[in-house]
């Protein structure tokens, strides 16, 4: 079935450094790729998303890149801050019957930013 692999499972960086999280999806029909941030005990919150007709998208310190040929997409966080510490989930989705499909989530990456 459809799957999304996410790496690494844990990531520790110094404040100010960059962090990169990578995901690979199995279904070539996937066309929507959101990223969620989940702080401890809280709900997942959408931080950025990208569609298959775009190769890169940026929002301040966060950027996402998509390589459709390789079925890879990545999250890049620059100038990391302690408040970036959280679990990050990637996901992939495709249309179903011409309408909304469900999200397949990666297993998550626990990011720790050390002051």
Partner 1 sequence: DAGVIQSPRHEVTEMGQEVTLRCKPISGHNSLFWYRQTMMRGLELLIYFNNNVPIDDSGMPEDRFSAKMPNASFSTLKIQPSEPRDSAVYFCASSPLGPSNQPQHFGDGTRLSIL
Interface residues with partner 1 (CB under 8 A) are 31-32, 34, 36, 42-46, 49, 51, 89, 93-96, 98-108
Nearest-approach distance from CB 98 to partner 1, in angstroms: 6
Q: Considering beta carbons, is residue 75 or 106 the nearer one to partner 1?
A: 106
For partner 1, the closer CB: 19 or 92? 92
The least CB distance from residue 32 to partner 1, in Å, is 4
Collect all residues with Cβ–Cβ distance below 8 Å to 76 and sequence separation of at least 6. Answer: 18, 19, 20, 62, 63, 64, 65
Closest separation between CB of residue 70 and partner 1, Å?
A: 21
| Residue with Cβ nearer partner 1 (77 or 91) | 91
Tell which residue, 82, 83, 104, 84, has the closest CA to residue 93.
Answer: 104
Give the angle 72-113-111 at the CA atoms, nearest 5°: 35
Least Cα distance to 19 among 67, 88, 75 occurs for 75
Q: How far is the CB of 76 from partner 1 (least distance, A)?
A: 20
The alpha carbon of residue 2 and the mean position of all alpha carbons in its chain are separated, in whole angstroms, by 17
Residue placing its CB nearer to partner 1 in the complex, 80 or 93: 93
Residue 101 in contact with residue 95, Cβ under 8 Å?
Answer: yes
């Amino acid at each position: 079935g459809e799957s999304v692999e996410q790496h690494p499972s844990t990531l520790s960086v110094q404040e100010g450094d960059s962090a990169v999280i990578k995901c690979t999806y199995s279904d070539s029909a996937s066309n929507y790729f959101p990223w969620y941030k989940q702080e401890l005990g809280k709900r997942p919150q959408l931080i950025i998303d990208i569609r298959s007709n775009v190769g890169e998208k940026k929002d301040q310190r966060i950027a996402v890149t998509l390589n459709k040929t390789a079925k890879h997409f990545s999250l890049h966080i620059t100038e990391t801050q302690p408040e970036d510490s959280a679990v990050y989930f990637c996901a992939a989705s495709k249309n179903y019957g011409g309408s909304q499909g469900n999200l397949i989530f990666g297993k998550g990456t626990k990011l720790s930013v050390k002051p």
